[in-house]
């Protein structure tokens, strides 16, 4: 049985290798996916750090 995950499972990190993960955070923060990727490159993949860098919570 294949399980399709559509949102993070309480992970403190954003997985840039998973398109659904990037899309989830992009939609949640209402920013383009590329902006999420660029921010991760600057501050790392911790959800809290990316949110702060984007001015989101």
Reduced to 3 states (helix: H, G, I; strand: E, B; else coil), residue 35 is helix
Q: Is the pLDDT reported for residue 2 higher than 90?
A: no
pLDDT of residue 6: 62
**Distance from C-alpha of 57 to C-alpha of 8, rounded to nearest angstrom:** 16
Task: Report angle CA 11, 25, 43 to the nearest 5 degrees.
Answer: 75
What pLDDT is attached to residue 35? 97
């Amino acid at each position: 049985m294949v399980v399709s995950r559509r949102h993070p499972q309480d992970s403190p990190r954003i997985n840039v290798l998973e398109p659904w993960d990037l899309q989830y955070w992009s939609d949640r923060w209402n920013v383009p996916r590329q902006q999420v990727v660029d921010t991760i490159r600057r501050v790392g993949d911790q959800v809290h750090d990316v949110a702060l860098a984007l001015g989101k919570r």
